[in-house]
């Protein structure tokens, strides 16, 4: 079929009726969004001459993605979650907020309700013989003042790149903890070095990425939510330096400010001091929190998560 078969005003009229714009009932904001997305979709179909087969292939793809609960994976893979971050960054800048730790995507694999502890925690259950990782740092405000009682909610993958809860072979809340900062704003944890995550094989996400010539790998990373009363909630990650995919993250989550130095400790005295018998890795990373202000968009996001086990 040729492209551009339908006049723009016909599309506009169809979208308006389909979105209920001529009806008094219903949610005005939802109508606005549905109308706009329908216009954009019809224009795309017409301009690109999307065939019936292509259209229904797309619908079948989305149907299967929904059945497999994969929209949370597809969204970062097609850059939309990072795009939402860029919008929030820009809105904050315009609201005069500056100096906080860079945000990056939450991703689809957070589980609420991880065990809480004060000051420090061990994240791993001891069954994964990976490289031991000690990570520590301070939560501060933008002027450098420590924030006591902040909550560092941390989660990461195991040495296979898999997350507890989604990987049934791991114990509940393995590699997931909430740590309350001490009087000096410090947190500290022992864990194992994560491996990079890869989109599950056979997933709809992997299928799409493969079909457009991309891969579905992330560099190794550790996720954080940092919250403290009076401050804007921070959603971020650190990436593990040296990872093959560090600057080729399929989910677009890597940011230059979020790649701390990884110190490899092999000194026998240090190993002994840390209660270990093999070399380990150490990362220091401080979080800088901006104050909550009127007029800046909220950073506490309402989002469905998988239910805790
Ligand atoms: C995805 C997985 C992650 O571990 C992550 O941090 C971000 C995205 C994903 O599967 O899309
Ligand atoms: Fe992740």
**Atom of ligand 1 lying closest to residue 221 CA:** 6
**308, pLDDT greater than 60:** no
38 three-state secondary structure: helix
CA of 90 to the centre of ligand 1 (A): 23
Average pLDDT value for residue range 234-249: 98
Give the contacts of 4 (CB within 8 A, at least 6 positions apart): 46, 47
Under 8 Å between Cβ of 147 and 141: yes
Please give the angle made by the CA atoms of 28, 29 and 32, to the nearest 5 degrees: 90
Which protein residue's CA is at the shortest distance from atom 6 of ligand 1?
Answer: 107
Provide the β-strand partners of residue 177. 154
Strand partners, 139: 287
Distance between CA atoms of residues 102 and 128, nearest Å: 30
**pLDDT reported for residue 169:** 97
Question: How long is the chain?
Answer: 309
**pLDDT tens, position by position, 87-139:** 999 999 999 999 999 999 999 999 999 999 999 999 999 999 999 999 999 99
Instruction: Taking residues 241-269, report their average pLDDT.
Output: 97
Q: How far is the CA of 208 from the centre of ligand 2 (A)?
A: 19
Q: Cα–chain-centroid distance for residue 246?
A: 15
Helix (H) or strand (E) holding 34: helix 28-48
- Residue 199 Cβ inside 6 Å of ligand 1? The answer reads yes
CA of 166 from ligand 1 middle (Å) equals: 12
| Three-state SS at 29 | helix
201 DSSP 8-state letter: T
Q: What is the pLDDT of residue 285?
A: 98
Closest ligand 1 atom, CA of 199? Answer: 10
Probe residue for ligand 1, chosen from 68, 70, 73, 239 as the CB with the greatest number of ligand atoms within 8 Å: 73
Task: In whole angstroms, give the CA distance from residue 252 to residue 169.
Answer: 28
Q: Which two tokens stand for residue 18?
A: 């389909």
Angstrom distances, CA of residue 4 to CA of 8, 10, 66, 105: 9, 12, 31, 37
Q: What percent of the chain has pLDDT over 70?
A: 99
Say if ligand 1 is within 6 A of residue 216 CB: no
Specify whether the CB–CB gap between 307 and 166 falls below 8 A: no
Mean pLDDT of all residues in 32-38 = 98
Q: Is the CB of 107 under 6 A from ligand 1?
A: yes
Q: Please determine, for residue 143, whether its predicted confidence score (pLDDT) is greater than 60.
A: yes
Residues with C-beta atoms within 5 A of ion ligand 2? 107
**CB-CB contact of 158 with 142 (8 Å):** no
- To test the pocket of ligand 1, the residue of 209, 251, 303, 306 to mutate (highest count of ligand atoms within 8 Å of its CB) is 251
Q: What is the mean pLDDT of residues 240-259?
A: 98
How much of the chain exceeds pLDDT 90, in percent?
A: 94
Question: For residues 150 and 146, what is the distance between their CA atoms, to the nearest angstrom?
Answer: 10
pLDDT in tens, 47-65: 999 999 999 999 999 999 9
3-state secondary structure of 189: strand
Take atom 7 of ligand 1 and give the residue whose Cα is closest. 107
Q: Probe ligand 1: pick from 77, 103, 108, 306, max atoms within 8 Å of CB?
A: 108
d(Cα 89, Cα 298) in Å, to the nearest integer?
12
CB atoms near residue 190 (< 10 Å): 18
**Structure tokens belonging to residue 211:** 């079909």
pLDDT value for 307: 67
Rounded to whole angstroms, how far apart are CA atoms 252 and 222?
15
DSSP annotation of 291 reads B
Under DSSP, the state recorded for 24 is S
The yes-or-no verdict on residue 309 having pLDDT over 60 is no
By most ligand atoms within 8 Å of CB, the mutation choice from 75, 76, 194, 215 for ligand 1 is 76
pLDDT value of residue 134: 98
Q: Is 109 in the pocket of ligand 1 (CB under 6 A)?
A: yes
* Backbone angle region of 56, left / alpha / beta, with phi > 0 → left and psi within -120 to 50 → alpha: alpha
């Amino acid at each position: 079929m040729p492209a551009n078969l339908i006049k723009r005003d016909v599309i506009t009229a169809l979208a308006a009726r389909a979105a209920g714009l001529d009806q008094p009932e219903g949610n005005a904001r939802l109508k606005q969004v549905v109308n706009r997305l329908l216009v954009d979709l019809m224009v795309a179909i017409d301009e690109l001459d999307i065939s019936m087969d292509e259209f229904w292939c797309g619908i079948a793809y989305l149907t299967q993605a929904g059945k497999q609960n994969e929209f949370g994976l597809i969204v970062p893979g097609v850059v939309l979650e990072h795009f939402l971050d860029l919008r929030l960054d820009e809105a904050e800048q315009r609201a005069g907020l500056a100096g906080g730790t860079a945000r990056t995507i939450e991703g689809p694999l957070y589980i609420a309700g991880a065990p809480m502890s004060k000051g420090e925690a061990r994240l791993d259950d001891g069954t994964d013989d990976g490289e031991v990782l000690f990570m520590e740092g301070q939560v501060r405000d933008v002027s450098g003042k420590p924030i006591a009682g902040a909550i560092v909610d941390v989660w990461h993958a195991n040495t296979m790149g898999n997350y507890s809860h989604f990987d049934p072979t791991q114990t509940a809340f393995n590699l997931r903890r909430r740590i309350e900062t001490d009087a000096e704003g410090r947190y500290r944890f022992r864990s194992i070095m994560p491996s990079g995550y890869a989109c599950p094989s056979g997933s709809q996400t992997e299928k799409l990425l493969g079909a457009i010539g991309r891969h579905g790998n992330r560099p190794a990373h550790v996720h954080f939510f940092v919250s403290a009363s009076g401050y804007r909630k921070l959603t971020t990650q650190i990436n593990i330096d040296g990872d093959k995919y560090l600057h080729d993250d399929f989910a677009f989550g890597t940011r230059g400010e979020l790649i701390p130095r990884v110190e490899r400790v092999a000194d026998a005295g240090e190993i002994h001091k840390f209660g270990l018998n093999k070399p380990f890795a150490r990362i220091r990373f401080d979080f800088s929190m901006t104050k909550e202000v009127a007029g800046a968009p909220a950073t506490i996001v309402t989002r469905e998560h998988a239910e805790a086990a």
